[in-house]
Structure 1
């Protein structure tokens, strides 16, 4: 089923995104600023 594979790909991408967001947040907290997060995450 190609749809199952697509779902898996989306899930993997979401996991990667969460990891990146978390890492950015930790880095921002260490630097005492959230500018990094704003750069990585596009404005909603």
Structure 2
């Protein structure tokens, strides 16, 4: 699976938590798509 792109959708209505989670996942090498609610997630 080397070279595969891993994208994670993170949904949280607390913007500070969303940013912390997204930042940590990016450091781990994931591409992150942040969303503040279910509507924006889809």
Determine if the TM-score, normalized by the shorter chain, exceeds 0.5: no
TM-score under structure 1 length normalisation: 0.36
Asked which structure has the greater RCO (Cα within 8 Å, sep 6+), the reply is 2
More strand by share: 2
TM-score under structure 2 length normalisation: 0.37
